[in-house]
């Protein structure tokens, strides 16, 4: 088995070859040194020059010595199409693998599987010597809400829905609704959205125009029917998301007024509830005003803050929060 030093040298040579252009004046040793360092291979300019001379004997690289510094590139008759992944590509694949699975058609994801495996192997092999290869072990994304295990999605159903979406075809499906009943639906798939830990199909049903969300793990059967999807006029997935589709509540805006505890001031200043949020100091604490959407997530957040936040307005929201907290407190009497 090659040593860490040997693996690192081979990886550096491969990365160097990938950095060389196929046309133009080429890249000089200083440029290549900087790019290698960014890729996790800290090396001297002199070492890069030695590497280039060594690789030139094998790959017949062009050295443009018409001016100083010399420019290096692939020959016009050569090939820069090297197999494999750069360290940066391997790192990117490692980080996005789990996120991509529900959002990429199954046939495409299977085609990428070998690349994912190659990425894992490359990062593991270079872990001891390459700082970029170690990056994936240094970063994590944590959901802001209560952490929960993603629900299981049937692989065959997932692939059917992805294929229907890719081909712009309707789907006949059996869906397990929130009221514990099973419903037979003809759906017009419009998109997929992941809101941790759940992935949703965005679709219309039958000939209705209202766009709805269907959790993928609640599909019990799905079959493509070869009729073209009818897309609602003017529909845009981006506009649908930006319009608050995943907020699960009324999209209507409200003028929220809160009394907040001192420990909340800095947090809400750094991460405001809206662009027009204002926090004013008063005799009885701090008052926050913001124009927000009255959503389920907003109410859940307000309830989760306990005594750190008091809703002052709107009055109906204040009454709803007060009633819920009173009922919750009653459970502990």
Note whether residue 79 is domain-resident: no
User: What pLDDT score does 250 carry?
Assistant: 52
User: What pLDDT score does 265 carry?
Assistant: 93
User: What pLDDT score does 202 carry?
Assistant: 95
Taking the model in full, what pTM does it have?
A: 0.62
> What value does the CA radius of gyration of the chain take, rounded to a whole number of Å?
28
User: What pLDDT score does 56 carry?
Assistant: 84
φ/ψ of 183, rounded to 5, equals: -125, 135
Note whether residue 78 is domain-resident: no
Q: Are residues 296 and 242 in the same domain?
A: no
Q: Are residues 305 and 280 in the same domain?
A: yes
Note whether residue 187 is domain-resident: yes
Note whether residue 209 is domain-resident: yes
Number of domains present in the structure of the chain: 4
Note whether residue 143 is domain-resident: no
User: What pLDDT score does 125 carry?
Assistant: 83
Q: What is the CATH number of the domain that holds 259?
A: 3.30.70
Note whether residue 175 is domain-resident: yes
User: What pLDDT score does 58 carry?
Assistant: 75
Q: Are residues 56 and 97 in the same domain?
A: no
Q: Which of 247, 268, 289 is the last residue of a domain?
A: 247
Q: Are residues 178 and 239 in the same domain?
A: yes
Phi-psi category of residue 48: left, alpha or beta, with phi > 0 → left and psi -120 to 50 → alpha: alpha
Residues of the chain with pLDDT under 50: none
User: What pLDDT score does 295 carry?
Assistant: 85
Which residue segment(s) compose the domain that 29 sits in? 4-73
- Residue 281, Cβ neighbours under 10 Å: how many? 10
């Amino acid at each position: 088995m090659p040593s860490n030093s040997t693996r690192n040298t081979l990886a550096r040579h491969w990365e160097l070859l990938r950095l060389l252009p196929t046309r133009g004046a080429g890249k000089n040793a200083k440029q290549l040194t900087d790019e290698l360092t960014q890729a996790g291979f800290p090396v001297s300019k002199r070492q890069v020059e030695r590497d280039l001379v060594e690789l030139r004997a094998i790959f017949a690289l062009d050295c443009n010595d018409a001016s100083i510094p010399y420019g290096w590139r692939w020959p016009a008759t050569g090939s820069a199409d090297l197999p494999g992944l750069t360290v940066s590509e391997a790192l990117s694949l490692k980080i996005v693998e789990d996120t991509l699975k529900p959002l990429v058609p199954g046939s495409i994801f299977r085609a990428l599987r070998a690349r994912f495996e190659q990425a894992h192997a490359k990062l593991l092999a270079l872990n001891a010597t390459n700082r970029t290869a170690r990056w994936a072990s240094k970063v994590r994304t944590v959901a802001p809400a209560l952490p929960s295990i993603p629900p299981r999605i049937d692989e065959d159903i997932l692939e059917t829905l992805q294929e229907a979406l890719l081909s712009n075809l309707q789907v006949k499906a059996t869906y397990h609704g929130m009221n514990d009943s099973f419903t037979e639906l003809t759906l017009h798939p419009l998109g997929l959205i992941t809101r941790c830990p759940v992935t949703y199909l965005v679709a219309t049903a039958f000939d209705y125009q209202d766009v709805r969300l269907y959790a993928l793990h609640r599909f019990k059967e799905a079959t493509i029917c070869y009729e073209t999807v009818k897309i609602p006029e003017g529909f845009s997935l981006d506009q649908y998301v930006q319009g608050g589709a995943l907020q699960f509540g009324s999209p209507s805006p409200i003028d929220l007024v809160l009394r907040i505890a001192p420990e909340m001031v800095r947090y809400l200043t750094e991460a405001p509830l809206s662009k027009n949020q204002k926090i004013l100091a008063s005799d009885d604490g701090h008052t926050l005003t913001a124009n927000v959407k009255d959503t389920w997530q907003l109410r859940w957040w307000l309830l989760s803050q306990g005594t750190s936040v008091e809703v002052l307005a709107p009055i109906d929201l204040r009454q709803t929060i007060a009633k819920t907290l009173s009922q919750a407190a009653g459970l502990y009497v």
